[in-house]
Amino acid sequence: MEQNPVEQQHDERLAEYRSSIDNIDAALVHLLAERFKITKAVGRYKKDAQLAPADPGREEIQLARLRSLAEDSGLDPAFTEKFLRFIVAEVIHHHQRIAEGEHL
């Protein structure tokens, strides 16, 4: 069944949007991978320096900074905070595993 020109135009526009979203998602994955490479190095440093896996003061500073960036960018600051808290929790988990002697 053939599409009418309006439906075809909508499908092409939707495909363009989805292509852009796919590219952004790929960039996010690569950025997260790079971030976790660095945070794992931090975890190894903390182990060697006998520092605690978590740094609540740093976390609060980062949360405030990123909430402000989100507001400036038109992104929901509550979403940004949830997202960052999720990432930080995973980082702390990695740091705890590294402190226990796991090789990540």
pLDDT in tens, 6-47: 677 779 999 999 999 999 999 999 999 999 999 999 999 999
Q: Span 59-75, mean pLDDT?
A: 96
The 10 Å CB-count burial string (b at 16+, else e) for 62-97 is: ebeebbeebeeeeeebeebeeebeeebeebbebbee
Query: What whole-number distance in Å separates Cα of residue 58 and Cα of residue 21?
Result: 32
Angle at 36 between CA 35 and CA 37, to 5 degrees: 90
Domains of the chain in sequence order: 5-99 (1.20.59.10)
